Amino acid sequence: MSDASRLICFNKPYGVLSQFTPEGRWRGLKDFIDVPGVYVAGRLDADSEGLLLLTNDGQLQARISDPRHKMEKTYWVQVEGEPDDAALAALCAGVTLNDGPTRPARAQRIPVPAQLWERDPPVRFRQSIPTSWLELVIREGRNRQVRRMTAAVGFPTLRLIRAAIGPYALEGLAPGNWRG
């Protein structure tokens, strides 16, 4: 194998951990990626989907995952309810969570993402409560931060998909597939 730096973009499905080894009911990355010497750069919860980056380059891994570098992370968030302008303004200003205030974010309502795939299992559906989609861009990565932010403004997250990390994006990558 060459010493060349390698970066893998992986569309992590729901129910897969950000590690190679499975645990309990969750699958591991080894079910999808058989590339020696690469490591996850930043985490994504098992119940979240979307872009996960892996690399064999320690400096690149630090640049991607270290909050000091403030690399933007873009999420598509399906929430329960229909956030109003006040909720979006609160997200943009930064909300206070139990571990302190978040940095200001960019938040906007979006239509259902065009390239969206079905989730297995499907998101719970309640006929009496509408859902809507937001695009949320943050520059930090606290534990379950996006979910806690939307809950703090009164709109719980039902589905969370990371669409991009800095210049790296899903760009039509199907769940369970990778490129790089």
Based on the domain organization, do 116 and 161 belong to the same domain? yes
Q: Is a pLDDT exceeding 70 seen at residue 2?
A: no
Based on the domain organization, do 154 and 175 belong to the same domain? no
Please name the residues in contact with 159: beta carbons below 8 A apart, sequence gap of 6 or more: 49, 77, 78, 119, 123
Mind listing the pLDDT tens digit for each residue in 26-40? 999 999 999 999 999
Based on the domain organization, do 97 and 156 belong to the same domain? yes
Based on the domain organization, do 108 and 157 belong to the same domain? yes
Based on the domain organization, do 38 and 79 belong to the same domain? no
pLDDT for the residue 1: 41
Query: Which pLDDT band, with edges at 50, 70 and 90, does 3 fall under?
Result: low
Q: Would you say residue 39 lies in a domain?
A: yes
Please name the residues in contact with 103: beta carbons below 8 A apart, sequence gap of 6 or more: 94, 138, 139, 140
Based on the domain organization, do 117 and 44 belong to the same domain? no
- Closest by CA position to 74, among listed 138, 124, 170, 143: 138
Residues 88-92 have a mean pLDDT of: 98
The residue annotated as part of the active site, out of 31, 34, 45, 57, is 45
Q: How many domains does the chain have?
A: 2
pLDDT for the residue 4: 84
Residues 50-61 have a mean pLDDT of: 95
CATH number of the domain encompassing residue 147: 3.30.70.1560
Q: Is a pLDDT exceeding 60 seen at residue 18?
A: yes
Q: Is a pLDDT exceeding 90 seen at residue 141?
A: no
Amino acid at 110: I
Based on the domain organization, do 45 and 90 belong to the same domain? no
Q: Which domain holds residue 56?
A: 7-66+168-179
Q: Is 85 a residue of the active site?
A: no
Q: Would you say residue 94 lies in a domain?
A: yes
37-46, 67-76, 96-105: least confident range? 67-76
CATH number of the domain encompassing residue 34: 3.30.70.580
Query: Which pLDDT band, with edges at 50, 70 and 90, does 70 fall under?
Result: confident
